[in-house]
Structure 1
Amino acid sequence: MQNPPANTPKIDDSANADPSDGVDLVIETGASPPPARLEALVATATAYANAASSENTRSAYAKDWRHFTAWCRREGFDPMPPSSQVIGLYIGACASGTASGSVIGTTAGDRKRNAPPLSVATIERRLSGLAWNFTQRGAPIDRSDRHIATVLAGIRRKHGKPPRQKEAVLGEDIKAMVDTLGHDLRGLRDRAILLLGFAGGLRRSEIVGLDIVRDDHSDGHGWIEIFPGQGVLLTLRGKTGWREVEVGRGASDQTCPVVALERWIRFGRIARGPLFRRIFKDNKTIDVERLSDKHVARLVKQTALAAGVRADLPEAERAGLFAGHSLRAGLASSAEIEERYVQKQLGHASAEMTRQYQRRRDRFRTNLTKASGL
């Protein structure tokens, strides 16, 4: 096998490197500094490499790496090069609650590790973070290795629980939720967020990532184009690439997402930049910065509780039912239309994924028992 050229850029494989700021490409040129032309090429390649994953993803993976390396130091292991046996021990410690470095008490005798066991989903996500970090350091791991795969299978078998899905807000729920909002600037903005997010089947990051017009230099996830008398076309950059989402006009102006969007744009005087923005306490001044996606989650929860959605359940249980994903699941559960259209709107690659979002409360509408003659 031929050795790579001396000036070939490579990813920094230092165990202490923190990739939260992005991939770090370095050049090996011996004692002499790299030529300016090669430095420019590396800078360009680095920018593209960092664009392969979002800042939030890199930040989460960096936290996973810090947790793993801290555990290795406490247990006397070297994080690099990767060892499937050590990783198996680590995820086992995560499942048992012994992988945390936090302590309680003030004296040496009182100190003990104090952390609840991690869920199966968290352990799987953390394992993905470690795999990403090892790959960035030029030492990929084999997750199918028996020291990792068998431990993970045992964790799933012993600690796995049915998934807890967020409650879907249906069409009538959305109508009641927007009725709880005022008609000031904040109310106009939040009404447009709820109706557009529901009708478009959007993720909360997609909602706040919209710009009023196309801007190739924006940090957003897409833009809108309003077609008078018809609806609004959303061009979105999602996990699987670009897609277009059509949101048509509703039967009533009170609950029409397009009307709500037009009112927010007009009264908010949004001409360019982010579509949804923070509003200051005076309820008159609109910030230029993009609204946080956490606002969507809070908005859905607050309005659902205020509207009495799922009032048949205890208050403490209701508080944990709703989040930003309730809008996306709500469209899939409410739309009385062929499944393929819902699948396209949500941007799912398979109908199976779309069916996971369909959470109707009126179950057993199709009774196969009676249909079979019993």
Structure 2
Amino acid sequence: MNVLNITDQLALIDETPLDPYFLALNAQEAAAAFIVAGTAANTVRSYRSGLAYWSAWLQLRYGQALGDAALPSTVAVQFVVDHLARPTADGEWVHLLPPIIDAALITAKVKAKPGALAYNTVSHRLAVLGKWHRLNNWDSPTEAPALKTLLREARKAQSRQGVSVRKKTAIVLEPLQALLATCTDGARGVRDRALLLLAWSGGGRRRSEVVGLQVGDVRRLDAGTWLYALGTTKTDTSGMRREKPLRGPAAQALSAWLDVAPAESGPLFRRMYKGGKVGTAGLSPDQVARIVQRRAQMAGLVGDWAAHSLRSGFVTEAGRQGVPLGEVMAMTEHRSVTTVMGYFQTGALLDSRASQLLEPAAQLSDPSNDRVAQPAVHDTAENFTTAPARDA
């Protein structure tokens, strides 16, 4: 049997050799497809929104299209001063974006309202720009030292003026119980109760993780315990399935939902229609947020509630109850201790003796004394309150 050498084999291939310093067009497209497929849907949507904004702003501000070439760092600096408000000596807040361009961005439906953007929004738009440049193998203007210094000083300037980063109100035990108390409206209430308890008791699940669960991802371990399996998540893209427990009320709520809406396959949490009819389509991430907000409104709770309130609330309540941080992170799958510690410490300090030094010593040391539970709010002064009961 004759074996062709490499030279002979190359002679049979009717292809132009590739330049090793450049990716072929089809390879670029394949690489881009992998990146999109491996990125969470919410992240893809946020990138598209951010790129749409950059495209419109560049066209209006510079008459330049996005994607022709790498942008210089001066453009990124201009973006910051156009969109971040800064205090003046007169106590006024100003930014450099011309009103006519601001109005045009609103007309183009890439901006919701006139005025400056929040610091987090500007940071996200810059992150999108940096991602865009990296995908195109360009030097990113967001890595310029001048820009990083500007952002750092802008953050400090806003903080000194009382502008803080606002986060969603954490759903600790008391507001969670208030939300669950509203879940008495038939099949919809059964579904929402199961969803809220799985998302909260199951480790503070993200809304994308909740809607991604399939019927086949849950299994009963015993009379009082269910297990549900997570696959690919925001922080774990390995695809390996990790099982998390649901016990007590959360397990009972899941059993009740599967009794009301039995299914062999498909999304675990499905849409509801008039008359309490359960559909076949799964919920969207936005619908999870709306369920939380609707239940909070029904319960008369005042606060900035969202789907993330379940995740931050789980961590905060774990801190209140003295659960070791390692056990909490095993449930939440946080990778960064820094990220989770803010919520955890807030909860732990709520019941710390160091925060109750003015209380009588006997009350602090009496183990029979009921804990005075306080609502937990991370990085915001808002508390939740229950609205007065309406007359029947």
Asked whether the two chains share a fold, i.e. TM above 0.5, the reply is: yes
CA-CA distance at 1:350 after TM superposition = 3.7
Alignment of 1:1-374 (within 5 A): 5-6=18-19, 10=23, 26-27=25-26, 45-76=31-62, 78=64, 79=66, 80-95=69-84, 96=95, 98=97, 101-103=101-103, 115-160=114-159, 161-182=163-184, 184-200=186-202, 201-213=204-216, 223-236=217-230, 237-241=232-236, 244-250=242-248, 256-284=249-277, 286-309=278-301, 318=302, 320-335=303-318, 336=321, 337-358=323-344, 359-360=346-347, 363=350, 365-367=352-354
Give the structure-2-normalised TM-score. 0.70
CA RMSD, Structure 1 to Structure 2 (Å):
3.0
C-alpha separation in 1, matches of 2:51 and 2:195: 36
C-alpha separation in 1, matches of 2:173 and 2:241: 24
Structure 1 gaps, min length 5: 11-24, 28-40, 105-113, 214-222, 251-255, 310-317
- The residue type paired with residue 208 of structure 2 is S
1:193–1:9 Cα change, 3 Å? farther
CA-CA distance at 1:202 after TM superposition = 0.9
C-alpha separation in 2, matches of 1:272 and 1:207: 16
SS of the aligned residue for 2:306 comes to coil
Structure 2 gaps, min length 5: 1-16, 85-94, 105-112, 358-392
Give the structure-1-normalised TM-score. 0.73
Q: With CA pairs under 8 Å and 6+ residues apart, which has the higher RCO, 1 or 2?
A: 2
Structure with the bigger percentage of helix: 2
1:186–1:9 Cα change, 3 Å? farther
Greater than 6 Å deviation, 4+ residue runs: none
- The residue type paired with residue 305 of structure 2 is F
Percent sequence identity is 27
C-alpha separation in 1, matches of 2:244 and 2:353: 30
CA contact (8 A) 2:170 2:312 kept: yes
CA contact (8 A) 2:290 2:306 kept: yes
- The residue type paired with residue 103 of structure 1 is A
CA-CA distance at 1:274 after TM superposition = 0.5
SS of the aligned residue for 1:155 comes to helix
- Name the counterpart of 2:88: none
CA-CA distance at 1:55 after TM superposition = 3.2
C-alpha separation in 1, matches of 2:257 and 2:170: 25
C-alpha separation in 1, matches of 2:103 and 2:31: 43
C-alpha separation in 2, matches of 1:97 and 1:184: 53
- The residue type paired with residue 235 of structure 1 is A
- The residue type paired with residue 90 of structure 1 is F
SS of the aligned residue for 1:357 comes to helix
